[in-house]
Amino acid sequence: MFAPVGMAVTAVEDLPGLIDKGRRRVELQLANARVVGKFVVTKTERRVADQIDTLMHNGAGGPAEPVRGPAPGGATAPARSVPDTAAGAVVGSALADYDTLSASQVVRRLESLGPEELRAVQRYEASTRNRRTILNRAAQLLEEQRPAPPGP
């Protein structure tokens, strides 16, 4: 008969301590969950921003080179080279709105260009968006347009 009464008194005396212990454990788990959640959200935001940046800078044609953001520790990735403005002028007159065209749109229009214009496209593209699809096709067309060596 005294055992149940003793247990009831002990439970009443220890209840605030048990509640406090449970609260601290839950708070610790919530804090850990917040840290992990913030890490995942930040990492995902960076990946999405990098993918959007890649799409904006490389167009829709062909694989894009990865765009590197800030490195761990605050260092930044090397900047792109300065655009070749002379080649840009030639490209702009040969292909209207060049900078707004996707790689697949540019590739279709390259066949109408002469050797000087193709070389200008190569220089300008290499100094700006560096889309391999365009650079490779321009090189192929220049090779095809090269005159055959004189025969014997």
pTM: 0.46
Whether 129 and 59 have beta carbons less than 8 Å apart is answered as: yes
CA-CA-CA-CA torsion for 111, 101, 82, 85, nearest 10 degrees?
60
The average pLDDT across 14-32 equals 89
Q: pLDDT by residue (tens digit) across 98-141?
A: 989 999 999 999 999 999 999 999 999 999 999 999 999 999 99
What is the residue extent of each domain of the chain? 1-58, 85-145
What percent of the chain is modeled with pLDDT above 90?
A: 34
